[in-house]
Structure 1
Amino acid sequence: MKTNRYLIETSVACLLWSGSIIACKISYGSIGPFTLGLMRFSLAAVIMLAMLAVTRDHDRPRGRDMAICAATGIVGTTLYFAGENYGALLLPASTSSLIIGAFPAMTLALESAWDRTRPDGLKAAGIALAFVGVAVLAYGESSSGGSDVVLGDLALLGGGLCWAVYNLMMRPLLGKYSTTSITAWQTLFGALGFVPLVLLTEGLPTATPAPEALLSLAYLVLGCTVAGFILYNHSLKGLPASTAASFANLIPVFGLILSALILGEAITVPQHLGGSLVVAGIFLSARS
């Protein structure tokens, strides 16, 4: 039963994250990608640190563990979301979906190399099937609207590598501290990591963001960051990193559903087929 709980938690996290691309696109009208990262994670860190104070959670990582929190915050927050935000700015949704679909395979390969083990056959088959599903989804989408594709590809792939490393770096912290405490300190360090990126590339904002950008920012802070990361980090207590990461393949599926419900976009036959393959692949990976 506990395993089912962890699977539900990581699924909900991916559902929340699936709306992030839409929210980011809306925000880019008046907020730069790195400035958006700084605002998002600064506000989220304040909220989560306040949660620790209200609940009197004094289980703060110390010494080497705090250093690990800082490192995972830079890798899993600053570098990953810098790559995702910048890649999403340059690429069409189809290309972004295909690259994000490769992240679980990258995590599995890195996890197997780190542990010096062979990937479980069922898990590897599940991730491969899910990747095929994402490829079908990407093929069925329009490829228009992207610019500087190579740079966008590299940005997203770099972010995916950071996500794979983040999952392994989290291991020494799991079970030692509360999930909220770990996530709060990671988010704080991740927000600080965005400061030099903003100063070097975009500069401090001089105008007030548009109302729709502020609403999107609120969703990114409360839904994608506070709730999403707490749920995902807690799921890592009961799931292997590669299994939890395989649920990232649900993001383009959830994204299609949200696009249909919110934007009224029609779901095509290739999208139905690709979504079914993704769900089947995740079922095999989780079952292993």
Structure 2
Amino acid sequence: MSGVTCSSGTSWSVKNPRMADPDIDDPSLAAAWSPHPSRAVAEVSSSASARAAERRCTATPLTLTAPLGYGRRDRSRPRRMAPVAHRALGAAPRERRRRAGPARARGHARPRPGRRHLGRELSWSPVALAALRCGIAALVLGLVTAVTGSLAPGPTRAEWRRLILLGLTGNTIFQLCLIGGVRLTSPAHSALIVGLSPIFTALLARIALGEPLSRGGLLGLGLAFAGVTVLVTRDVGQRAGDALAGDVLSLGSALSWTIYSVVGKPLLIRHSPLQVTTVATATGALPLLALGLPGLTAVSWSRLDVGTWALLGYLSILALALNYVLFYWALARAPLARVSVFQYLTPVVAVLLSVVTGHQAPTIPLAVGALAVLGGVALAQRA
């Protein structure tokens, strides 16, 4: 490698010897080569200027510290070589990955294509989601009831009034109050108020149905409710300005479920749990479908994928239809106080799933609350 240094201190060098002409030995012509490998052209156009450059400059060897091929104009980054084992098989060099846009430059993850989940598709209309759930549950329950022949005996006029009341309280009013309560108040407040439902149920069953309620049963209900309070009060205060209207709606959902439980128990003497649940779900789904029709018409049904339909089936068939049937099946065989206390297991299961999946760290208050709920349920069953 060669170059020239002028008396004034200015130096030129051939940064890429492969671009230089090996036949040129004149220092003046060598100095005339551009320092950029992409512009390796002679800038000396006359012999006079070449002689002047020869008088001003003296050829001296220069040491190049920059790697070959890195000119100021050559901004292309070299391609990354393939691994040795891959090159032995004839693999070609790989292009170096570049950052994609300002989001990667700021350290953020590259945005991924959005997935169509049920919550995002219908999150702007919870009433439409509740209506769709009840509609699908009523349809499935009706098909199962028709296939199994559980339609007989038919309900009387007085029983029809009870069934309509069950549909309105257990489905329409319960769903609307629960949705409104969660949206207007904090989730902790809503969970605590809805958690009063088993206590209301046991007291109303003692007054309306004459079911026995021992001190052990009351103690078990109180202990389980205290455990639920420990589990959910860790979130109290996260949301400022909790609305009183949300608390009132949550209380309305608890009272509506209490009425659904107490009014439905006498019907189980003459009718099967499947028949009572089917008629009550169908009568409750009609008002919800009327209220949620605008939201349902706005849904892009063609964009719902298989995962969305599977989630919708779980929410409608397992979480609603099967849950309601099993609840009435248990009411037909045990007192209301013993059955309703099992509702306190819902937050316990939710916390356990959060811990197992890594969404929440196990703490002492969580363990104390879960043990209190389990102890209260066991105490209520022995009473």
Alignment TM class, shorter chain as reference: 0.7 to 0.9
Is it true that 1:207 corresponds to 2:302 in the alignment?
no
CA contact (8 A) 1:125 1:285 kept: yes
5+ residue gaps, structure 1, are 1-25
Deviation at 1:269, TM superposition (A): 1.6
Matching residue of 1:138: 232
Other structure's SS at 1:112 match: helix
Partner of 1:70: 164
Q: Distance in 1 between matches of 2:311 and 2:357?
A: 14
Decide which structure has greater helix share. Answer: 1
Q: CA deviation at 1:178?
A: 1.9
CA positional deviation for 1:47: 0.6
Could you tell me the TM-score, scaled by structure 1's length? 0.81
Q: Compared with structure 1, are the counterparts of its residues 129 and 33 closer, same or farther at alpha carbon in structure 2 (3 Å cutoff)?
A: same
TM-score (norm 2): 0.62
Matching residue within 243, 254, 279 for 2:374: 279
Aligned to 2:208: 114
**Deviation of the 1:264 alpha carbon:** 3.1
2:271 match: secondary structure: coil
- Counterpart for residue 266 of structure 2: 172
Partner of 1:62, secondary structure, is: coil
* Bigger CA radius of gyration: 2
Which residue does 2:251 correspond to in 1?
A: 157
Distance 1:136 1:164, change over 3 A: same
Deviation at 1:128, TM superposition (A): 0.8
The separation in 1 between residues aligned to 2:321 and 2:210, in whole angstroms, is 34
Work out the CA distance in 1 between the residues paired with 2:155 and 2:376: 39
**Contact persistence 2:338–2:381 (CA under 8 A):** yes
Say if 1:100 and 1:248, in contact at 8 Å, map to a contact too. no
Distance in 2, matches of 1:120 and 1:236, equals 18
Q: Which structure ranks higher in relative contact order (CA pairs < 8 Å, sequence separation ≥ 6)? A: 1
The answer on 1:57 being equivalent to 2:156 is no
2:361 counterpart SS class: coil
Give the 3-state SS of the residue equivalent to 1:266 in structure 2.
coil
Checking the alignment, whether the CA contact within 8 Å between 1:73 and 1:187 is kept in structure 2 is yes
How far does the alpha carbon of each residue in 1:121-155 deviate from its partner, in whole angstroms, 9 at most, with x for none?
11111111111111111222364357753222111
Look up the match of 1:89.
Answer: 183
Find 1:46's aligned residue among 111, 129, 139: 139
Structure 1 residue 51: deviation in Å?
A: 0.7
Identity %: 27
Is the 8 Å Cα contact of residues 128 and 292 (structure 2) preserved in structure 1? yes
Deviation string, structure 1 residues 81-140 (Cα, Å, up to 9, x no partner): 221222233444322322222111111222233246774111111111111111111222
Gaps of 5+ in 2: 1-116
Determine the C-alpha separation between the residues in 2 that align with 1:189 and 1:147. 36
Counterpart Cα distance in 2 of 1:77 and 1:278:
26
- Helix, strand or coil: the match of 1:78? helix
2:127 equivalent in structure 1: 34
- Paired AA for residue 271 in structure 2: Y
Secondary structure (helix, strand or coil) at the match of 2:300 reads: coil
Q: How many residues align?
A: 261
Q: 2:344 aligns with which of 249, 259, 262?
A: 249
CA contact (8 A) 1:91 1:146 kept: no
Paired position in structure 2 for 1:198: 292
Whole-angstrom distance in 1 between the partners of 2:310 and 2:323: 17
Inter-CA distance 85–215: structure 2 relative to 1 (3 Å threshold) = farther
The 8 Å contact of residues 90 and 146 in structure 1, kept in 2 or not, is answered as: no
Q: What are the superposed Cα offsets for residues 163-212 of structure 1, whole Å, 9 maximum, x if unpaired?
A: 1111111122113122211111111011012134336xx65431226656
- Distance (whole Å) between structure 1 residues aligned to residue 255 and residue 150 of structure 2: 32
Once the two structures are superposed, residues 208-265 of structure 1 have per-residue CA deviations (whole angstroms, 9 ceiling, x without a partner) of 2665654432211121112111111100011112221111111111111122334632
Q: Deviations over 1:8-32 (max 9, x none)?
A: xxxxxxxxxxxxxxxxxx7443322
**Cα RMSD after superposing both structures:** 2.4
Counterpart CA distance in 2 for 1:225 and 1:124 is: 28
Which of 173, 193, 197 lines up with 1:79 in the alignment? 173
Give the letter for the 2:154 counterpart: P
Preserved CA contact (<8 Å) 1:112 1:118: yes
Deviates more, 1:217-226 or 1:52-61: 52-61
